[in-house]
Amino acid sequence: MTDHAFTRKPGKRFELDAIDPGFTAGLEGKKQAENRLERNFERLHELQEMLYADGSRALLIVLQAMDTAGKDGTIEHALGAFNPQGVQVTSFKVPTEEELAHDFLWRIHRAVPRRGMVGIFNRSHYEDVLVVRVKKLAPEAVWRRRYDEINDFERLLGENGVTIVKLFLHISPEEQAERLRERQVTSDKQWKFNPGDLEDRKLWPDFMRAYEDALSRCNTEHARWWVVPANHKWYRNLAVTEILVETLESMGLRYPDPIPDIEGYVIPEV
């Protein structure tokens, strides 16, 4: 089971300095995690099938992180256990003109998965209390009221059958620097290098304060936040899969009852 030090009871503050981004739960390397990870993949596949068959619930996974922390890698390697036919991935970038003409949650609500499905948000509505706050894209009075609006929105989803798992992939600034350097010098990764990431890096302390406030103020019984140590990609994947197995198992999923007298039907010869 994943270390519950990665989450907090609602009302308790997250202190990111107190959570080691290099934590590996005593495991010394990828090899030691392989068997557990494989079991988790098999279990996630089974639970996703039950989610689809049950048809009364949906699972929404929210991924937030600083640049290079591994949102795309998490989707590919940890969440790749899901059958892609039952998964909807949405990446939220700079709002379009149409999206800006609506409230900030309009584009988010449109992307929420329907019952029976798994939805994955690569970035999310939290950008509106993170980037918007740090880069002063809206007045403080505007982004401050969004914490309550987000909580109300997530409560609405929860009351309508959507279970929300919010994951902050937590890396150290030293690890980010290594990954940025790797992008600079590795030919098949250079396309990922964005000078804008360097500007965001200069604002690291401001982003950490914004994340701590978002994690603390929007950590509720119906939509918990988890801080996932992500310096080691293999441990990040293990932790994410264990959180999701635990979450899906807690949802009370079951296969629908079979039709009456199912075993009495005769399969015709052809």
Rg over alpha carbons for the chain, rounded to the nearest Å, is 20
Nearest CA to 170 out of 33, 1, 7, 29 is that of 7
Predicted local distance difference test score (pLDDT) of residue 196: 87
The angle that helices 195-202 and 173-185 make with each other, rounded to 10 degrees, is 160
Phi, psi values for residue 225, rounded to 5°: -100, 140
CATH level 2 (architecture), domain 28-251: 3-Layer(aba) Sandwich (3.40)
Contact by Cβ (8 Å): 14, 215: yes
pLDDT in tens, the chain (270 residues): 455 569 999 999 999 999 999 999 999 899 999 999 999 999 999 999 999 999 999 999 999 999 999 999 999 998 999 999 999 999 999 999 999 999 999 999 999 999 999 999 999 999 999 999 999 999 999 999 999 999 999 999 999 999 999 999 999 999 999 999 999 999 999 999 999 889 999 999 999 999 999 999 999 999 999 999 999 999 999 999 999 999 999 999 999 999 999 999 999 999
Q: How far apart are CA 220 and CA 223, in angstroms?
A: 5
pTM (2 decimals)?
0.95
C-alpha distances out from residue 160 to 1, 6, 115, Å: 28, 27, 9
DSSP for 136-184, please give it: T-S-HHHHHHHHHHHHHHHHHHHHTTEEEEEEEEE--HHHHHHHHHHHH
At residue 267, what is the residue type?
I
